[in-house]
Amino acid sequence: MNRQGALDELKGKERKRMHGTATTLEALEGGDIGLRYHDTIVVRWNPDGSISLDSGGWTTATTKSRMNEYLPNGWMVYQERGVWYLSNRWEATWVYRDGITIHPDGAVAGAAPKEEVAEVQKKRKQVRAYATRFVQALAAGEVPSPSNGDCWYCLFHTEDGRSLGEATKDDSHLWAHIEENYYVPSLLWNALEGGNISNMAYNWLRWCQQGRPEENKFLSNWDGLFGDQVKKALVKFLYKQLGLGA
């Protein structure tokens, strides 16, 4: 969709709900038109005919899908090894960065330097290593249940159910936990919201957080399987919170 197409879609209205959850097309100040997904204008059609993109720090598959639905024909955002790219019919590719802009003549401004690719992949590796250590500590009975002694950004939630860290878009506390090997119990439970592991894995998790108080051959025999489920959920959550791709 180009700017004229967005104008035609609005038909003089200030706002129009589009298909897809929490997605609206809006007339913005200064003559811009924006596609809002939740709290972020993910696609912005500027008066000069250029189009700007912004993930709001949420480099998720759904955010990417919203962008691709409304980009002009031939343009797409895709992910490879955790890094987002903007491409024009595969003739040219740019490393994605929030604010990247496509001009009417096809020129692209605001792309990230290629050096950032290695940095993103380095951070993803750090996250995976932290998740591995976290689950090892959990399986050893060293990670208790959440308590008021946890990191407040992980522990406290807003009225809409978001953690304080997510609501304030503060990811510095997460990096501090990773660097300090601080295995925050409430961080783990935030990662498991929405049923991201099986019921049996939840039983294993609660048993581990009780310090594995008694011998349970069934649960202990499945340390690897249940621990892997928890690890995958934790990695996925941290990738999302840290803007490191899906």
Q: Which helix (H) or strand (E) holds 33?
A: strand 33-37
Q: Quote the DSSP letter at residue 112.
A: B
Percent residues over pLDDT 90 in the chain: 66
Distance CA 115, CA 105 (A): 26
190: confidence class by pLDDT, cuts 50, 70, 90: very high
231: confidence class by pLDDT, cuts 50, 70, 90: very high
Distance CA 234, CA 66 (A): 25
Q: Helix (H, G, I), strand (E, B), or coil: what is residue 140?
A: coil
Q: Which helix (H) or strand (E) holds 51?
A: strand 51-53
When pLDDT is averaged across residues 27-34 and rounded to a whole number, the result is: 88
pLDDT value of position 149 = 93
Beta-ladder partners of 35: 25, 43
In this model, does residue 21 exceed pLDDT 80?
no
pLDDT value of position 194 = 72
25: confidence class by pLDDT, cuts 50, 70, 90: very high
169: confidence class by pLDDT, cuts 50, 70, 90: confident
pLDDT value of position 218 = 82
Residue 49 · residue 231 · CB < 8 Å? no
Average pLDDT, the chain: 91
Tell me whether residue 217 is exposed, middle or buried, using C-beta atoms within 10 angstroms of its C-beta: 0 to 12, 13 to 18, 19 or more.
Answer: exposed
When pLDDT is averaged across residues 136-153 and rounded to a whole number, the result is: 94
DSSP string covering 178-245: HHHT---HHHHHHHTTTT-S-HHHHHHHHHHHTT--S--HHHHHTHHHHHHHHHHHHHHHHHHHTT--
The residue extents of the domains of the chain are 3-112, 116-241
Which of 125-129, 139-143, 190-194 comes out lowest in average pLDDT? Answer: 190-194
Distance CA 49, CA 42 (A): 16
pLDDT value of position 54 = 96
pLDDT value of position 59 = 86
Distance CA 25, CA 20 (A): 11
When pLDDT is averaged across residues 81-103 and rounded to a whole number, the result is: 91
pLDDT value of position 225 = 93
In this model, does residue 221 exceed pLDDT 80?
yes
When pLDDT is averaged across residues 201-216 and rounded to a whole number, the result is: 89
pLDDT value of position 13 = 87
